[in-house]
Amino acid sequence: MNSRSAASIAPRLIAAIALGSALALGTTGCTFITHQATTNPYPASDGVPFDETGGDVVARNVFVVTTEDGEVGNLVGAFINEGAKTASVDIDVAGEQLSLRVPGEDRVSLGADKMPLRIENLDVKPGATVEVLIVSGDGEATPAQVPVLDGSLPQYADLVPAAEPIDATS
């Protein structure tokens, strides 16, 4: 018959639990203090989002596709009107003024549903960024650095601007 008392087993049990806990904490402790990259929000695309345009229109996946020399570009992106009325959008790309109208509670996708907006005299080579400001109302609008891409990726090959503007009326 075993004559060990509960008093002699308790310290060993406590020591075993403490050792097991320390071992588990020691082998997994890094995950308690390490920042997890999956918690960082980011645009899962090549373009940039615009949440602050001063009005009801927000923009998603905005980027520029340019010719090899960077002289001419096309502005690509989705413009979403969260308001009920049609909104005018003013876009400044490196000093070039562009405009767009977005119907109420609808979207305009430049480069998908509609032709991209042509930017003359861009003078920004692929691989760089260009400052873009999108304004859709009277509030504060925040500019952003937008990537300038070329047609080397197959999904952007059709978005490279032609040397001469295409006449949309013919």
Which residues of 4-68 form beta strands (DSSP E)? 48-50, 57-66
* pLDDT digits 0-9 by tens, 118-135: 999 999 999 999 999 999
- Return the amino acid letter for 133: L
Token pair in block for residue 49 = 């989002």
Opening angle at CA 119, ends 114 and 120, nearest 5: 140
> pTM for the complete prediction?
0.74
Least confident of 12-21, 75-84, 118-127, 144-153: 12-21
Which residues of the chain form beta strands (DSSP E)? 48-50, 57-66, 73-81, 87-93, 96-102, 107-110, 117-119, 129-135, 144-149
